[in-house]
Structure 1
């Protein structure tokens, strides 16, 4: 399963690379109306001149979660490690059939791996939407610089659909055709929501009742301000930013709930197995480990027995309810009860007579 997951991760990274840095997927050419005020907003320069440049955004969404998750998992592990007296032999965990893996490393890599997968997934969704729709940015006509006279734009409602209508810089024009949805909004809200849910579900220390909401809402506020900045600088429409928010929040929620199961997992082995065994048999039991296949078969057999038992009970209850609904069965039941009451009355011993 590990190799299969690595193959999926590699495929996701390669697909994101082809969307981002190659022209394998051609952008849809969307037309425009002459003198359309929706696309005549001023162009404030390349993305590097923005208040939230791509370098800062990518460093934040990649570095901040890595640092926060690593530090939090390390602190939680050390706190649990020092608060309980575990035998060192009980902390040796064999993963699979090969080697030892520390629970701290396992949890950290799991949470960060899922986060990285979601990050590339968001990028793929956003790039796919931009390529398919080809929605125009608010500053499109400013960088397009169409020759309205040559295009016959004497009438304001004339629709221009051919690609050669623009005379400006081709790189700026291509970037202006990829506005929906907003990549910056999607990535920022994905990182903020993933971290907010991680802090909420993982940190259970006393005195954090207000610290966790403040940190979570602060991260969400930064993501919201990133979307506002895109609209304020005329780089995206409101619809582009809202669509990016929806994509980022949906992917983050799905991964947290369905993949990492609300960040549940043990930092250390539970001491139940060591406490239930006699002291003299602890070393002997460690020599034999149940294989994953045996555990799976045992769990399946238990589940099958429970399902069969529940199924038989449901069938019996349904049959009894059906019989009780029949009139002849009700009459027969009442008659039996009446006969039983009469017989019991006749055969009941007279306690007063026996006493006399």
Structure 2
């Protein structure tokens, strides 16, 4: 019965997962960014075009591959301790599948949020003018900065750039690299906190968590130094990634993934918290004044003087 329920749940979840990706695929295939203009002498859009420090294939490997590797290693180690000699992986495989399934669903949600905002806002990237290269002579943009004009109708003349790159130059807000990397890093950090129990080192787990955060921060910083995004774009992407990572983990994954202390195993005994330790009953102590008074009465004689 449980196997049948699990198979039905798996089929339904896969179907929902596919439905979630359909709008994202349609948006990439048919979507057009909102048309936005620019000022003739807007220096914030005149930065040179640079290749990505963190390319899209590299981002995919880091954001999808690193969490899976971390989860797989942790569940393998737990299975080795629990089942001895790597037997009976069923519980750990289910935990891995559930955790990574929630991760993929959250990543899809992050992409949908980010891409929807990108196409709705249509903010121009800092390197837009170098990629588009509109014909300023036909736009009546003079060299006199005192008579600046806002251009709403223009045509890109850069034939060296692919049409897809030109369209992408109008999708600055928010940063997709920032939202994906931050979601991936924080979700994995939460997973490490929940499933990894290290008794031989105090700093191993926080070091791994800090390394994941630093990789995400590095990815975010490169989006500004590569002139792909404004700082506000990166901040918005980070906020999306952080909020979705917390929501997906603590509202979905937390209920379906057993914590490190919920399964007691021979090799990894559950750590006992201070709150759960048995407390020694503390006897009721009388106030010091009463104790002194009682001692005085016991040691005093009929004459009221103290006798030793």
TM over 0.5: yes
TM-score, L = length of structure 2: 0.75
Change (3 A) 1:222 1:269: closer
Aligned residue among 31, 38, 46 for 2:37: 31
Decide which structure has greater helix share.
1
TM-score, L = length of structure 1: 0.65
Secondary structure of the equivalent of 1:165?
Answer: coil
Give deviations 1:104-160, integer Å, cap 9, x for gaps: 221111001001111111111111111000000001111221222211223642111
**1:195-210 map, 5 Å:** 195-210=188-203
Verify: 1:147 aligned to 2:135, yes or no. yes
Aligned equivalent of 2:155: 165
Question: How far off is 1:266 after superposition?
Answer: 7.2
Partners of 1:103 and 1:266 within 8 A in 2: no
Distance 1:210 1:250 in 2: 26
Aligned residue among 47, 52, 55 for 1:53: 55
Using CA pairs under 8 Å that are at least 6 residues apart, name the structure with larger relative contact order, 1 or 2: 2
Aligned residue among 77, 80, 100 for 2:79: 77
Partners of 1:202 and 1:263 within 8 A in 2: no
Q: Which has the larger radius of gyration?
A: 1
Partners of 1:198 and 1:262 within 8 A in 2: no
Distance 2:201 2:139 in 1: 64
Distance 1:232 1:215 in 2: 26
Please list every run of 5 or more consecutive structure 2 residues that lacks an aligned counterpart in the other structure.
1-8, 266-308
Aligned equivalent of 1:293: none
Verify: 1:124 aligned to 2:112, yes or no. yes
Verify: 1:213 aligned to 2:184, yes or no. no
Give deviations 1:23-54, integer Å, cap 9, x for gaps: 2x22101111112101001112xxxx322111
Aligned residue among 171, 179, 186 for 1:178: 171
Aligned equivalent of 1:247: 240
Secondary structure of the equivalent of 1:104?
Answer: helix
Question: How far off is 1:77 after superposition?
Answer: 2.0
Distance 1:28 1:59 in 2: 30
Secondary structure of the equivalent of 1:138?
Answer: coil
Aligned equivalent of 1:63: 65
Partners of 1:199 and 1:216 within 8 A in 2: yes
Please list every run of 5 or more consecutive structure 1 residues that lacks an aligned counterpart in the other structure.
92-100, 272-356
Distance 1:239 1:263 in 2: 35
